[in-house]
Structure 1
Amino acid sequence: MTDRVLILGGRGRIGSCVAQDLINHTQAQITVTGRQAIPEVTARQQGETRAQFLVLELADRESLRDAIAAHNLVIHCAGPFLYRDASVLQLCIEQGVNYLDVSDNRAFTRKALALSEQATTAGITAIVNSGIFPGISNSMVRHDVERLDQPEKIHLSYVVAGSGGAGVTVMRTTFLGLQEPFEAWIDNRWQIVKPYSNREKIKLPAPYGNVGVYWFDMPEAFTLVDSFPVKTVITKFGSIPDFYNHLTWIAAHIFPSSWLKNPGGIEFLSQVSYRMTNVSDRFSGIGVAIRSEVEGQKDGKFVSVCSTLVHENTAVAAGAGTGSIAELMLTNQLNKVGVWPVEQALSTKLFQQTMENRDIKISF
């Protein structure tokens, strides 16, 4: 029986990269959805017999239910996830269909995880927060944690060059992340942190070098606390060229908060930023770098374990992170009923195996 995969929002940069990864690494039949049929997309798919395009509105619940029922894995790539509820996952549970998403929003993640008991009863595997960050980054942390006897502090840093190759979506996600202060687990208690504050310089492998990063709200800020017995979890984000960091800081600290809470304001800032990166991408590139550092006890000594990743295309790396998990689910190598963040579902052995198969190089 041929596997059939439904990619919601598969017309976007991330969804397209997930689809391409599945074409490269599985034999699945793939259905890519979007709100409108676009000739360029259709033409791009004509040479690939295992992919088809389906016009689908997520708000059309009946059509969405029928589409889900016709597949055995659904991959939700239709962000920004701040604007999404868990209805896609609920339909997957109703239809007994496995689920995977690229969500990057704390509130959405909580809604999805709250359905774990229902997913267990339905016998489906559902994994949230796949992709590059969160996603590959979570598995890097798991690897580092497993090298210690007692982990105490997790420090994750992400840096994206220009647009990251992910189109305007990455801009929307960044500005949406500036809207509200958020809770961070620091010294064994939840503390309120202002987004894009507390700049620090971290050292990344070439070609990045020393880069500024800032506090940023990510779902792993709380899933890693649930996953590992640590006292502190820090999640920070930065951009290159560095002047984008300063512009984002101004948006977070000087602009009236009403601007960032207005969808029109978010869209305006996102479109302006995207046009700017269309220029700067030519010299900055569209890559991504991740640094995971876990401090703790090993053989009675306090040590630090670090891993890093550098990839030339953020969207392609995200596609590999999600596609690798989809491949494992389709081949039944990853079968864990319930709803899970990546670090709780994916073993380090399988993670390293799929990354090697995709030539994703991680320095441990």
Structure 2
Amino acid sequence: MSQQVLILGGCGRIGGAVAKDLQQYADATITITGRRPVTPRTKMPWRVLSLDLDDHQQLRETIAQHDLVIHCAGPFSYRDDRVLLACIDQGVHYLDVADNPAYVRQALSHGQAATAAGVTAIVSTGVFPGISNVMVRQGVESLDQAETAQLSYIVAGSGGAGVTVMRTTFLELLHPIRAWIDGRWQSVAPYSQRQRLVFPVPYGPCHVYWFNTIEAMTLPESFPLRTVITKFGSQPDIYNHLTWLTARLPKIWLRRPGMVEFLAQTSYRMTEWSDRLSGIGIAMRVDIEGQRQGEPTRYTGSFTHDSTATAAGLGTGLVAQALLSGDLQQPGVWPVELAVPTTLLEQGLEQRGLAIGQSWQRLG
């Protein structure tokens, strides 16, 4: 009998991508949810359920009928820990695609309760965060000593994601970045310090900027790194300049009711046009400096996909697949880099016809 999987927010772009990946690679019966009644335009291979997360009773009853809950109903800056707590209370495994530091910190605080309940809960699966975190683990494990890590991302156009991702981007511009630099936490201005890096084809040279991510928070606690840098950029480059300008607006403007929504909707409409030229793919690059065989060495890992949303779906899907099969059992609440072994990531990507590019360069 196949296991029962509930994807909250499964009617959205990221949740839908997770459902498609699981449909192909896992033996599971899938239910996806949205806040409003949904009538599929075509026959779908999974059940569609209307569910309001503010209806606590319905939420608990629905969770109780499943073996795994995957929380994709962002933006997570607007969410609390009610879904995770309901899963722990009812012994149901949990994954999410959370991209908000406050939400993730709150979730990680429930590790002891999840361990006692025998529940494996993994936060921030997906592509970044998600695959990117395990790429860092892969690089750290390849060195004798890791000292600094930089994670850099390029997303073309909308990335194939919905307007929720646009909202998250503008919400992150409201706050300084809490960055781990030279062994201490420091404040960095969002979307600052433009940097040119070369990404795998078809991207080539691109520009990236400081951007707040979950990796910036969890990686310094997961590995003995002195510095963790997280940078993001867009293609075409004009979007970088517009985002830079937005980050420099008086913060009171961004906090005005409806302003973030206006910016998100406007940006999404712009990318609907530019996606036809730029595509919707993603490129990720991880650079880790340290020691290998007694020599200063830089490790570089790279990953590309022609759809950012699809990449996020498979990043979560391969973790869910491992949970459902029993290959991954680790009661507690974990950041993905501490829960998912590099071998599991490599096997999951290989099954999907993908791989992480890896290279090492001696320094000095």
Q: 2:192 is matched with which residue?
A: 197
Q: 1:137 is matched with which residue?
A: 132
Give the Cα–Cα distance (whole angstroms) in 1 for the partners of residues 197 and 101 of structure 2. 25
Q: How does 1:284-303 map to 2 (within 5 A)?
A: 284-303=278-297
What is the CA distance between 1:357 and its match in structure 2? 0.5
Give the Cα–Cα distance (whole angstroms) in 2 for the partners of residues 168 and 47 of structure 1. 23
Q: 1:231 is matched with which residue?
A: 226
Q: How does 1:31-50 map to 2 (within 5 A)?
A: 31-39=31-39, 42-44=40-42, 46-48=43-45
Structure 2 contact 346–355 (Cα < 8 Å) conserved: no
Q: 2:159 is matched with which residue?
A: 164
Q: 1:105 aligned to 100, 103, 124, which one? A: 100
Q: How does 1:1-364 map to 2 (within 5 A)?
A: 1-39=1-39, 42-44=40-42, 46-48=43-45, 51-253=46-248, 255-364=249-358
Misfit runs of 4+, over 3 Å: none
**Aligned with 2:98: secondary structure?**
coil
Give the Cα–Cα distance (whole angstroms) in 1 for the partners of residues 116 and 138 of structure 2. 30
Give the Cα–Cα distance (whole angstroms) in 1 for the partners of residues 354 and 171 of structure 2. 29
Structure 2 contact 3–28 (Cα < 8 Å) conserved: yes
> Quick one: which amino acid aligns to residue 141 of structure 1?
V
Structure 2 contact 284–302 (Cα < 8 Å) conserved: yes
User: TM-score, with normalisation over the residues of structure 2?
Assistant: 0.97
**Aligned with 1:170: secondary structure?**
helix
> Quick one: which amino acid aligns to residue 43 of structure 1?
R
What is the CA distance between 1:47 and its match in structure 2? 4.5
Q: How many pairs were matched up?
A: 358
Give the Cα–Cα distance (whole angstroms) in 2 for the partners of residues 7 and 263 of structure 1. 30
Give the Cα–Cα distance (whole angstroms) in 1 for the partners of residues 229 and 120 of structure 2. 28
The CA RMSD measured in Å over matched residues stands at 0.9
Give the Cα–Cα distance (whole angstroms) in 2 for the partners of residues 3 and 136 of structure 1. 24
Unaligned runs of 5+ in 2: 359-364
What is the CA distance between 1:2 and its match in structure 2? 2.1
User: TM-score, with normalisation over the residues of structure 1?
Assistant: 0.97
Unaligned runs of 5+ in 1: none
Give the Cα–Cα distance (whole angstroms) in 1 for the partners of residues 62 and 329 of structure 2. 22
Give the Cα–Cα distance (whole angstroms) in 2 for the partners of residues 243 and 110 of structure 1. 34
Deviation string, structure 1 residues 267-322 (Cα, Å, up to 9, x no partner)? 00000000100110000000001000110011111100001111100000000000
